[in-house]
Amino acid sequence: MTQEPLLKARGLYKRYGKVTALNNCDFDLMPGEILAVIGDNGAGKSSLIKALSGAVQPDEGEITLEGKQVHFASPLEARGHGIECVYQTLAMSPALSIADNMFMGRELRKPGIMGSLFRQLDRPAMEKFAREKLTELGLMTIQNINQAVETLSGGQRQGVAVARAAAFGSKVVILDEPTAALGVKESRRVLELIRDVRSRGIPIILISHNMPHVFEVADRIHIHRLGSRLCVIKPGDYSMSDAVAFMTGAKVPDEVAEAA
Amino acid sequence: MSSDAKAATSYEEGLKGASESVAEFKEKKSALARLQHWLHMTPSAVPMIVLIAAVIIFGLLSPNFFKAMTISTILQQIAIVGILGCAQSLVVLTAGIDLSVGAIAVFSSVLMGQFTFRYGIPAPISILLGLALGTAMGFANGWLVAKVKLPPFIVTLGTWQIILAANYIYSANETIRSSEIAEVAPALQFWGNSIQPGGVKVLYAVFLLIAMVAVLSYVLRQTAWGRHVYAVGDDPDAAELAGVQTKRVLIQVYALAGLFCAIAGWVMIGRFGSVSPSASTGQLGNIQSITAVVIGGISLFGGRGSIVGMFFGALIVGVFEMGLKMVGTDPQWTFFLIGLLIILAVAVDQWIRKASA
């Protein structure tokens, strides 16, 4: 291994009562790669992602970002370190506009006294930025960037959430099931967007059940099983059915079998 | 395993020849749907329409209704409910409810009066102390809601009783007379002063209410904090994940509501002249303010509505009371109609929400 991982986790534990969601879990994200995380339902993928994005705090273990140990007490802190996450629930306020949602928690203020003293929002700048980002995603033939998010379709909402993460993520972008609610065409756009983000040098963690999508875009695949990392494979080395067999426990990958 | 990768994308070949455009935002077609959408964007439109209709109807029924005197009386009468409504609006926007607004107002007014008369503290300092203590009562509500995670209805049902009882115990149910206040501490009655352009009396309290509505409207629409208040009421989990410090916002909202209630308490002294621990606001302030908020189109489920709507809501109640009195009907008709309006307002709110579907 010549490169140091950008985001690394070692020995993570997270217990909810008697349920152990993360059981001595390791994780490595290399700079500039697309890392897919797959695993059966209940394998602890979501817990892992939440630990990395600050939404939950692991009971034990350490997370390092660019070689420095970090503790995220909230998603806001993770964001402060340049980690953006698109949650499965999308985390959008339905009654607020697209622009409001994109800038939630990091609003722009007007320059000069209107911004510093009266704390007025710079709506034109926020709307322009939101419009640009959605256009990049090809999601835009929109008349009204001030449209409430709840008036959008499921796919459009997902598009806005992905655009928000892609626009602000400076170190890592995490996408939890980004194509689950999307049609074929919209999914394609999201996959293109994922590649766009990588070409800007930002690594991506992609959680998905969609094997064709995973095998198409991922550089490496982290297979999660029973609360920890089973193995990491390259999509070229194994078939989709192998990957499914590993994650369901029907088959054991060679290197794990050798180690055992 | 390159065949796999090929298989992965092959199903998309079916897309060839299909329209290239991605999901678009389509214009709504029917007039009713457009109206629904417009109301969805402009939540204060409904109460405004009702208000204008009520004014026109009462103007036709009673020729005296359009006198400046009538309007100034209506504004005077809604000043206190309007300020309590500002407090209530903030709380309701976060999907909460504050039953203690009237109690905080009365107790704050009693504190201001007693500090001045019992301990001889200069009136302006007593007022500041009263405002600070009102804010502290609101803070207690907010802390219980945000940190202890109790339902707002239960928290404020409790603090309503506690504060009102504390108010009677502390004051020994003693009223401070108007003449005494005017002599010793006129600052307490400041908001009862008035200007009289063209012989029409307008209380300072009315200007205060309008200024508060204007400032709050700006804060809620034009600042990040205002957007966060809406986001917390809309979907607290989403707001939290999106980076809003929901607990802090909640506590700030309840504390600010407490401050507004204390301001309403100060205004009460100016409006009634005396300081009375048994003022009816203590029992009715919460219901009156909730009525203004609901008729004003603010959703009790949080995250929707505007402060200007609440102002229209308070005005509608004032116009109904005054108009029916001038027409000479049984005053019970006022409550009858206001009851109808409340139900209608919530029904309209539910209908507007469907614009999202």
Cβ contact, residue pair B230, A93, below 8 Å: yes
Does any domain span residue A75?
yes
- Distance (Å) from the C-alpha of residue B22 to the closest C-alpha of chain A? 6
First-to-last C-alpha distance (Å) of chain A: 22
Does any domain span residue B212?
yes
Between CA B327 and CA B339, with CA B333 as vertex, the angle to 5 degrees is 135
Chain B from 150 to 209: CB within 8 A of any A CB: none
Does any domain span residue A153?
yes
The pair of structure tokens assigned to B295 is 């008729």
* Higher pLDDT, residue B17 or B119: B119
CATH number of the domain where residue B176 is located: 1.10.3470
Q: pLDDT digits over B210-220, tens only?
A: 999 999 999 99
Does any domain span residue A33?
yes
Q: pLDDT digits over B299-319, tens only?
A: 999 998 999 999 999 999 999
Cβ contact, residue pair A119, B225, below 8 Å: yes
- Over range A146-167, report the average pLDDT: 82
The pair of structure tokens assigned to A68 is 């420095």
Does any domain span residue A2?
no
The answer on A70 and A100 residing in a single domain is no
Which one of A4-8, A161-165, B117-121, B346-350 scores highest in mean pLDDT? B117-121
Contact indicator for B111, B277 with CB cutoff of 8 Å: no
Paired sense of beta strands A172-176 and A228-233, if any: unpaired
Q: Which residues does residue A220 pair with via DSSP β-bridges, in sequence order?
A: A35
Q: pLDDT digits over B249-289, tens only?
A: 999 999 999 999 999 999 999 999 999 999 999 889 999 99
Chain B from 17 to 36: CB within 8 A of any A CB: 18, 21-25, 27
Does any domain span residue B200?
yes
Q: Is B301 on the interface with A (CB under 8 A)?
A: no
- DSSP H helical ranges for A54-103: 75-80, 98-102
Distance CA A98, CA A160 (A): 7
* SS3 state at A120: coil
Q: How confident is the model at residue B1 (pLDDT cuts 50, 70, 90)?
A: very low
The domain total for chain A is 2
Cβ contact, residue pair B356, A93, below 8 Å: no
* Higher pLDDT, residue B354 or A15: A15
Q: DSSP labels for B265-316?
A: HHHHHHHHSSB-TT-THHHHHHHHHHHHHHHTT--TTSS---HHHHHHHHHH
Q: Is B247 on the interface with A (CB under 8 A)?
A: no
Q: pLDDT digits over B67-100, tens only?
A: 888 888 899 889 999 999 999 999 999 999 999 9
Does any domain span residue A194?
yes
CATH number of the domain where residue A241 is located: 3.40.50.300
Mutate to test the interface with A, among B39, B227, B244, B248 (most CBs of A within 10 A): B227
Q: Is the pLDDT of residue B200 over 60?
A: yes
Q: Is the pLDDT of residue A153 over 80?
A: no
The answer on A164 and A204 residing in a single domain is yes
Report pLDDT for B13: 65
Report pLDDT for A218: 92
Q: Is B231 on the interface with A (CB under 8 A)?
A: yes
Contact indicator for B50, B311 with CB cutoff of 8 Å: no
Which positions in chain B touch A189 (Cβ < 8 Å)? 22
The pair of structure tokens assigned to B60 is 């036709």
The answer on A117 and A42 residing in a single domain is no
Distance CA A72, CA A53 (A): 7
Which positions in chain A touch B225 (Cβ < 8 Å)? 119
The answer on A134 and A70 residing in a single domain is no
Q: Give phi and psi for B132, each to the nearest 5.
A: -65, -40
Rg (CA), chain A: 19
Q: How confident is the model at residue A2 (pLDDT cuts 50, 70, 90)?
A: low
The answer on A174 and A80 residing in a single domain is yes
**Sheet of A19-29, strand order:** A19-29, A7-16, A60-65, A68-70
A16 CB burial (10 A radius; 0-12, 13-18, 19+): exposed
Report pLDDT for A142: 58
The answer on A143 and A51 residing in a single domain is no
- Average pLDDT of chain B is 89
* SS3 state at B67: coil
The answer on A249 and A223 residing in a single domain is yes
- DSSP H helical ranges for A58-117: 75-80, 98-102, 113-116
Distances, alpha carbon B12 to alpha carbons A181, A254, B7, B9, in Å = 17, 33, 10, 6
Which positions in chain B touch A234 (Cβ < 8 Å)? none
- Over range A238-249, report the average pLDDT: 88
- DSSP H helical ranges for A118-237: 123-136, 154-168, 184-199, 211-217
Which one of A169-183, B6-20, B41-55, B267-281 scores highest in mean pLDDT? B267-281
Q: Is the pLDDT of residue A247 over 90?
A: no
- Distance (Å) from the C-alpha of residue B210 to the closest C-alpha of chain A? 19
Count of CB pairs separated by less than 8 Å, A with B: 136
Domain that holds residue A13: 7-95+148-259
Give the one of B228, B243, B356 whose C-beta lies nearest to A151's C-beta: B356
Q: How confident is the model at residue B7 (pLDDT cuts 50, 70, 90)?
A: very low
- Average pLDDT of chain A is 85
Q: DSSP labels for B18-56?
A: S----S--PPP-SHHHHHHHHHHH-TTHHHHHHHHHHHH
Nearest residue to A226 via CA among A203, A206, A252, A201: A252
Mutate to test the interface with B, among A53, A74, A104 (most CBs of B within 10 A): A104
Domain that holds residue B340: 45-349
Percent of chain A, pLDDT > 70? Answer: 94
Does any domain span residue A233?
yes
DSSP state at residue B354: G
* Higher pLDDT, residue B62 or B7: B62
Does any domain span residue B298?
yes
Does any domain span residue B40?
no
ipTM of the prediction: 0.82
Q: Which amino acid is at A49?
A: I
Cβ contact, residue pair B18, A100, below 8 Å: no
The answer on A15 and A143 residing in a single domain is no
The pair of structure tokens assigned to A7 is 């985001």
State the CB neighbour count (10 A cutoff) for residue B196: 9
Q: Which amino acid is at A259?
A: A
Give the one of A119, A144, A155 whose C-beta lies nearest to B223's C-beta: A119
Does any domain span residue A121?
yes
DSSP state at residue B174: P
Which positions in chain B touch A89 (Cβ < 8 Å)? 237-238, 241
Nearest residue to B269 via CA among B255, B279, B284, B259: B279
Report pLDDT for B26: 52
Nearest residue to B215 via CA among B88, B302, B207, B39: B207
- Over range A120-136, report the average pLDDT: 86
Cβ contact, residue pair B238, A150, below 8 Å: no
Percent of chain A, pLDDT > 90? Answer: 19
Distances, alpha carbon B332 to alpha carbons A253, A258, B246, B335, B347, in Å = 80, 87, 42, 5, 23
Contact indicator for A122, A97 with CB cutoff of 8 Å: no
Q: DSSP labels for A9-31?
A: EEEEEEEETTEEEEEEEEEEE-T
**Sheet of A220-225, strand order:** A83-86, A172-176, A204-207, A34-39, A220-225, A228-233
* Higher pLDDT, residue B333 or B290: B290
Which positions in chain A touch B22 (Cβ < 8 Å)? 138-139, 185-186, 189
Distance CA B18, CA B326 (A): 68
The domain total for chain B is 1
Q: pLDDT digits over B30-73, tens only?
A: 788 888 778 777 778 888 998 999 899 998 988 888 888 888 88
Q: Give phi and psi for A250, each to the nearest 5.
A: -70, -25
The answer on A224 and A178 residing in a single domain is yes
The answer on A61 and A170 residing in a single domain is yes
The answer on A170 and A122 residing in a single domain is no
Q: Give phi and psi for A11, each to the nearest 5.
A: 60, 40
User: Which chain B residue is nearest to residue A79, measuring alpha carbons?
Assistant: B243
Q: pLDDT digits over B168-186, tens only?
A: 999 999 999 999 999 999 9
Does any domain span residue A32?
yes
DSSP state at residue A152: S
Q: pLDDT digits over A89-120, tens only?
A: 888 888 888 889 989 888 888 888 888 888 88
Q: pLDDT digits over B117-145, tens only?
A: 999 999 999 999 999 999 999 999 999 99
Q: Is the pLDDT of residue B3 over 50?
A: no
State the CB neighbour count (10 A cutoff) for residue A41: 7
Q: Which amino acid is at B47?
A: P
Which positions in chain B touch A186 (Cβ < 8 Å)? 22-23
State the CB neighbour count (10 A cutoff) for residue A170: 13
Q: Is the pLDDT of residue A167 over 60?
A: yes
Distance CA B306, CA B298 (A): 6
Report pLDDT for A219: 93
The answer on A90 and A131 residing in a single domain is no
Mutate to test the interface with B, among A46, A85, A93 (most CBs of B within 10 A): A93
Report pLDDT for B211: 97
Distance CA B98, CA B268 (A): 19
